[in-house]
Structure 1
Amino acid sequence: MGEKKLSVNGARLRASIEELARIGGTSGGGMHRLALTDEDRRARDLLQEVTQASPASPWPLYLLARAQRATGDLDGAEKSARRLLELSPGSVSGAHALAQVLTERRQFAQVIEALEPVIGQAPEGRDADVALLLTHLGFAYQELGQFDKAVGAFDRAAALDPADPSQGYYLGQALVAAGRFDQALSYIRLRRATRPSDPRLARVEADALRGKGRV
């Protein structure tokens, strides 16, 4: 008998591609891998076929990198992301995809190496996207114990995307990690004035007070 072919439902396949891209774009993408179906894997394979047919098209490469990460193929995801950056130097999407893979591998020095030049030459009008890259950069600095640089990255991210409530939390955390407790308290209390019910901000405030020896 010949190789069994997978019967593919077009609507389900499109949904799988979208879902794989979504999963691959989350910080915990790997948590979803055990739930992947044959259709999901077919979606990944289809993206591979598309990129082979149109190797100079950046967007399919970005989707493929995210799909590969969602299915646990970190080597493939890194290769696709780096290929995207070769095609489009300075690509914010390519840098994001690469940073996710390197972060999952805990290769934080490489995250910094990959992101700093892209952030420095990012085009106008991409503030939210650049803020996302700065967030990756801040976490990488923090993991390497470079707390003041982490504060700088999160501060820039919060300024670029003030509507994202997570940015205030990240910056507050970084200030506490840097031992800048008074700054952390001032900043977090300012943020809590507009978000009094956010438990994350309350937790950072408690950490800052504890750092000052007041809790």
Structure 2
Amino acid sequence: MADGDVLADHALLSGALAKNKEKPVPVSQLGRRERKKKAVREAIRAESLRLIGRHGVEGLTIDAICDCVDIAKKTFYNYYATKNELISELCQEELLRGTDKLIDEVIESGKPFAEQLEDMINVFIRREQRAGGVERELIAFSVGALAANIHEGAGQLAFINSIFLRFYEHHREVLKPELSTAFCAEVTVGMLNAITLNWVHDTEYDSPSRYRELWAFIVSSMLRND
């Protein structure tokens, strides 16, 4: 498949994240009805995070959310079609927030490829080291969605893939000519997801070592030898 075809497919998947990239309208500019809707949405998300912390993702129910927010079930469905849609939004907001800015900072640092890649991988290491119960539950759901449901996982996958695609495109000149930037991004994201999945299911799993091995593998296998 040509790079252009891969990038076109990637652009379609990235559409799922378009609404999250738009700048939010200041509350002061919202009408009374819009402010109320915004408050209800924020309450749904806040109570959902609290419930996930107590009962896990599997224990989260729409009935419990509605009881905590004091809304009717039909009101919930005005905001989210399913519980999984809500959790997917929480994953994007809680886990991926600020990551898009990170890639700009890494690229603008002017460091060599290997050092920039190390900085990016260290983000994943720190995320897992600092993860509490809620974050671990959301990470588990996020990785599971990628494998089990293309509709729910596509947006998150496209977002992470776009980060590494931009990174490899910026460093195109140091990559082996036979490797496309899309391939490099997909391999990297696939390996990152595999490490994360093992970390989710095994509390003794040494993910930092695996991440560092991934860094060594990418540097040795994807870079030009000249």
Give the TM-score of the pair, scaled to structure 1.
0.31
Give the TM-score of the pair, scaled to structure 2.
0.30
- Identify the structure with the greater helix proportion: 2
Higher relative contact order (CA 8 A, sep 6+): 2
